[in-house]
Amino acid sequence: MKPNNDPKGMSGRLTNYGDEGFSLFLRKAFIKGMGYTDDALSRPVIGIANTYSGYNACHGNVDALVESVKRGVMLAGGLPIDFPTISLHESFSHPTSMYLRNLMALDTEEMIRAQPMDAVVLISGCDKTVPAQLMAAASAGIPSIQLVTGPMLSGSHRGTRVGACTDCRRYWAAYRGQEIDDQEIVEVNDKLVPTVGTCSVMGTASTMACLAEAMGMMLPGSATAPAVYADRRRIAEHTGAEAVRIAVENIAPASIMTESALENALRVLLALGGSTNALIHLTAIAGRLGIDIDLSAFDRMSQETPVLVNLKPSGEHYMEHLHHAGGLAALLHEIRSLLHLDAMTINGKTLGENLEASTRIISQQVVRPRDNPIYAQGGIAVLEGNLAPRGAIIKQSAASPELMKHAGRAVVFSSVEDLAMRIDDPELDVKADDVLVLQNIGPKGAPGMPEAGYIPIPKKLAAQGVKDMVRISDGRMSGTAAGTIVLHVSPEAAVHGPLALVHTGDIIQLDVGARSLKLLVEEDELARRRQALKPVEAPPQTGGYRRLFLEQILQAEEGCDFRYCRPESTRKIPRRS
């Protein structure tokens, strides 16, 4: 990196009083009230973004991690100072944590910019918090290193291993289908989250942790250690020490999150069978760096990248098993020929060098060899057609094989409220081979693109034993969910994308092999319906975050970031072969 001549330590980012000497004098006077000496205040300052919240069990170990990071910083000769930022938990964010991801990114970015720090350790874990911090790091531009809280351990229910949140959905579906009773659903509720930490399956949190390591923004081996293991605290200490080094060497995030690093992350996403949400998040992170993700090229990458990680929801195991099997490195060894091994990582070594230094456990059962995959292609497929002119996606590794090519009658719900009101109505006109369509849950429509794309099976069909149906929406689903579910349909219904034109009774044709999603309605009829749509509502003229969100939010293929946060993008990845 080029030398950074900006003022360092406590002299950086001074409050503007018109007299820099007085600004520093006043700053030091106040921070000495915390008990610091001049010697301490002369060291490189390492900020620690503290995302602890009493609402956030995923971040329940943050206080312990902050303590360990501080130890590492001080052992390396730095001065650690933690500061609070917004904390998001998927289950405690109304209407959805995705609605608030960009707010957390803005908060984190501005706190990094506003306060004196030569580098920052970004601690987070729950679904939207890791991407929010990486988006902030990309925009703020100061040396940054990620530290995740780690996954929870799995629990046990009546002798069966369980964990959030794939098993949450499995047991709830069984309850809706009257396979288990009131007593058992209460009982299992006590067992699904036995410790603090993020979901114990390959949901969005675990996926983003692995992708942060894959793209080099976390120390090697740090994605999978459970939240309650001593390993996690040792990783935190090492992260603190590394933060001092990147501060001294001025390692900017853009020098790590390069095109090659982002391509590595996309490749790992596919091989993990990871969360569909991660594609939106990677797109947002890349967009902050002036890089666009080419969905067509990503889909070609998917066709040559098998799913190798045997974790729920695409497989059988849990995150603690992946950690015991060697962590992310176990997967990287299997797909190394598909990776840019020369990509530089945050510890000053290339991805290939880190991989060579890792321990390879040959006898493990969690990561399959390339010639014996969980799924022959990547976990995510990109669909196109007249129903999704700008793309849609499906998690093909978690879909039902018999529904991957299917044509059926649409049963349309116009909103989440309409869905809630009618989905369990015994009089609902619906059959097992129909296609459930949910409109207006996209970025603007909801707003916030909630995880309502995991449309429940109508109760009367669930009671008949129906486990899966084709479901289509402009929203998202949890990375812990499974099913034949088409998501991120773009443009969304709320901006009069074709999804808004679907009526109950229309025939929809899905062909994942052909990457096709079609509405089989004559163009003249679609034009008539388009003319009948009400004008798109303008954002409210009142102030507040909602107005900002509705004015600035981009569509799914652009990462659902705010328009003004993205520079003009000039580069596309994956690069076409």
pLDDT tens readout for residues 82-94: 999 999 999 999 9
pLDDT confidence of residue 108: 98
Please list, in sequence order, all residues whose beta carbon lies within 8 angstroms of the beta carbon of residue 10, skipping any fewer than 6 positions away. Answer: 24, 27, 28, 31, 41, 42, 45, 116
pLDDT confidence of residue 576: 63
Band of the pLDDT at 364, cuts 50, 70, 90?
very high
Give me the domains of the chain, ranges plus CATH numbers: 155-189 (no CATH), 380-532 (3.50.30.80)
In percent, the amount of the chain with pLDDT more than 70 equals: 99
pLDDT confidence of residue 1: 53
DSSP state of 232: H
Please list, in sequence order, all residues whose beta carbon lies within 8 angstroms of the beta carbon of residue 276, skipping any fewer than 6 positions away. Answer: 380, 393, 395, 476, 477, 479, 487, 488
In percent, the amount of the chain with pLDDT more than 90 equals: 95
pLDDT confidence of residue 539: 82
Q: Kindly list the distances between the CA atom of residue 517 and the CA atoms of 207, 321, 394, 470, 481, in Å, as whole numbers in the listed order.
A: 26, 37, 11, 12, 21
User: Residue 46's closest CA among 5, 20, 75?
Assistant: 75
CA 522 to chain centre: 38
Strands 388-395 and 485-487, sheet pairing: antiparallel
Helix (H) or strand (E) holding 410: strand 405-413
Task: Determine the Cα angle at 240 with ends 235 and 242, to 5°.
Answer: 90
Does residue 2 sit in helix, strand or coil?
Answer: coil
Band of the pLDDT at 543, cuts 50, 70, 90?
confident
Band of the pLDDT at 317, cuts 50, 70, 90?
very high
Dihedral in degrees, nearest 10, Cα atoms 422, 427, 432, 437: -30
In angstroms, how far apart are the furthest CA atoms of the chain? 77
d(CA 211, CA 262): 9
Residue 389: count other Cβ atoms within 10 Å of its Cβ: 13
Does residue 151 sit in helix, strand or coil?
Answer: strand
Sign of CA dihedral 447, 452, 455, 456: negative
Q: What are phi and psi of 526, to 5 degrees?
A: -65, -40
pLDDT digits (tens, 9 = 90+) for 370-401: 999 999 999 999 999 999 999 999 999 999 99
pLDDT digits (tens, 9 = 90+) for 144-196: 999 999 999 999 999 999 999 999 999 999 999 999 999 999 999 999 999 99
pLDDT confidence of residue 2: 52
Are 345 and 256 spatial neighbours (Cβ–Cβ below 8 Å)? yes
d(CA 224, CA 148): 9
Beta partners for residue 309, in sequence order? 367
Are 31 and 47 spatial neighbours (Cβ–Cβ below 8 Å)? no
Task: Determine the Cα angle at 461 with ends 318 and 397, to 5°.
Answer: 35
